Amino acid sequence: EVKLVESGGGLVQPGRSLKLSCAASGFSFNDYWMGWVRQAPGKGLEWIGEINQDSSTINYTPSLKDKFTISRDNAQNTLYLQMSKLGSEDTAIYYCARGILWDWGQGVMVTVSS
């Protein structure tokens, strides 16, 4: 069974950084692209970006490219999302997903507030 578990969320002050993790199990992690999607409270889904199997290709939605960094550790079966210069507009549930969003984690809440 594919399992994706996000962690690292919480309350963070504006301007600060936060790193999310996504622990993967139940499939061969290093065989798949992985991605991140977020959802602001009461809003729709926003694709953040994706990373290929060996981290040689990473794509982002342009508006987040300078703030967010996607990485992975295949030895640890873990996907990461490093977020910097956070603002209130980044308050959202953050989901990791396998492949072109075939399987999703339960999501982790990030709240940016002073």
Partner 1 sequence: DVVLTQTPVAQPVTLGDQASISCRSSQSLVHSNGNTYLEWYLQKPGQSPQLLIYKVSNRFSGVPDRFIGSGSGSDFTLKISRVEPEDLGVYYCFQATHDPYTFGAGTKLELK
Q: How far is CA 74 from CA 28, 35, 44, 95, in A?
A: 9, 14, 30, 19
Name which of 44 and 114 has its Cβ closer to partner 1: 44
Confirm or reject binding of residue 58 to partner 1 (CB under 8 A): no
Q: Which of residues 35-54 bind partner 1 (CB under 8 A)?
A: 37, 44-47, 49-50
Q: How far is the CB of 96 from partner 1 (least distance, A)?
A: 10
- Three-state DSSP state, 90: helix
- For residues 114 and 25, what is the distance between their CA atoms, to the nearest angstrom? 35
Residue numbers at the binding site for partner 1 (CB under 8 A): 37, 44-47, 49-50, 59-62, 95, 100-107
